[in-house]
Amino acid sequence: MSLGIALCVAVASVWFSLYGPGASAQTNAPTSLPPQAVFVDPVSVAVLGESGPFRNSSFTQFFNPTNTSPPFFQVFHPDFVTKVLGTSASIRQIASNSGFAFAHEAPIFLPETDEVTFASNDGGLLGFSDLNHNNRVSKINLGEVARAANASGSKTSPLNVTVTALSLPSPIQMTNGGTGPFHGQLILVNSGRGQLPPNIALVNPASPNNATVILDNYFGRQFNSLNDVKIHRQTGMIFFTDTIYGFLNQFRPEPLIPGQVYRLDPTTRRVKVVADGFDKPNGIAFSEDGKTAFITDTGSSGGFLGNNQTEPATIYAFDVDPKTQAFANRRVFAYVDTGIADGIQLDTQGNVYSGTGDGAQVWDSTGTLLGKFFLGTVSSNLIFAGKGQLVILAETAIYLAEIKASGFDLAFPQ
């Protein structure tokens, strides 16, 4: 046998052992997993075979090849353990109401009072809000969670702490997004209801929760139904998304403006469009340095028209123009395998977190899926609440994951 042929045979043999049928997994498994974690090697599930358990729906069928009972951490990459979870991570339910989707969107962490505020589902299943009824903004106290956890003697047993409703004035209708604190106040974006216009309002987090509307139109035209909001920490500008879920959930009129992303100068009240071309623009977030913006497009979620899996369930990344703050260089960051990517947050390492159809998912800065906080149910949003604490809203329940990673301060000014 010639040297050339021998070399080819050797290379082929190595390739077959690495990638051929029955080849051993090539992903390095984490050396140590938290108690509630399972590792799923991407190599082991890359080929399901002719009679494999393929999924027909991304909304009703989950990817859970180990058949593990939720909640648990589903690990696809070692970095999910080393950079996000740590080896002693835990996750548990901390509040619940099986008959009411009280924990849907607009999470805001208030470090001074150790509270998280959030809004109930506006117009959807178990939201008890519609054309004739407003949704509810509530809060929980994480100090109460800590005390209840200590009393339980367990890091995983479910808790059910007090959920307190805020009493908000009439301009606050169908709250769906929130961020802050902004000069000590909550920023709430509201979808509107009927002819009551969508708006952005500054709300006092303390009783009597007085509010000031700072924007309710685009040069005389009402927005469709405002959805999510973030502060650009480097400039203090307010960025928000507008979509059509109010119409799809039958509490707003037909849309009059494309689904777009806007920038509001809170001082001059000037507003401008910074990105368009979406089906249903939804969640928004920025990298810690403010140079990259992330927008979720939830086009595949169709309200009363039904879901369409061929439409976007995608996170897009953009460069933020340092002069105009317009969004440029649009590219796909990630496509979600279950449901849609909704609200998004980032940690201090640049990892991206999003509520999805099976809980919450995490990608590194390159868009590689690291793992999931697998709840077996929909999560629309989540928020870092102090060092190593991630609060996940799951419609009829709230979960707290205690992990290694932390978020950066979303407040302005610093």
Task: Tell whether 263 is covered by a domain.
Answer: yes
Task: Tell whether 223 is covered by a domain.
Answer: yes
pLDDT at residue 156 greater than cutoff 70: yes
**Enclosing domain of residue 384:** 74-402
Q: Which two tokens stand for residue 129?
A: 């809000």
Residue-wise pLDDT for 58-109, tens only, equals: 999 999 999 999 999 999 999 999 999 999 999 999 999 999 999 999 999 9
Please report the pLDDT score of residue 300 as a whole number.
96
Task: Tell whether 44 is covered by a domain.
Answer: no
CA distance 110 to 117: 8
Confidence of residue 412 (pLDDT cuts 50, 70, 90): confident
pLDDT at residue 179 greater than cutoff 90: yes
- Coarse DSSP helix, strand, coil percentages of the chain, rounded to the nearest 5 percent: 10, 35, 50
Confirm if 339 and 308 have CB atoms less than 8 A apart. no
Please report the pLDDT score of residue 29 as a whole number.
83
Task: Tell whether 39 is covered by a domain.
Answer: no
Task: Tell whether 15 is covered by a domain.
Answer: no
Q: What end-to-end distance do the CA atoms of the chain give, in Å?
A: 72
As for how many domains the chain has, the answer is 1
Task: Tell whether 19 is covered by a domain.
Answer: no
pLDDT at residue 7 greater than cutoff 70: no
Task: Tell whether 367 is covered by a domain.
Answer: yes
Task: Tell whether 261 is covered by a domain.
Answer: yes
Residue-wise pLDDT for 209-226, tens only, equals: 999 999 999 999 999 999
Instruction: Write the CATH number for 264.
Output: 2.120.10.30
DSSP string over 103-170: B-EEEEEETTTTEEEEE--SSSTT---BTTB---EEEEEHHHHHHHHHHHT-SSS------EE----T
Non-local CB neighbours of 360 within 8 Å, separated by 6+ positions = 353, 354, 372, 373, 375, 379, 382, 390, 392
Alpha-helical (H) ranges within 166-302 are 245-248
**CA neighbor of 316 nearest in space, from 271, 357, 276:** 276
Please report the pLDDT score of residue 31 as a whole number.
86
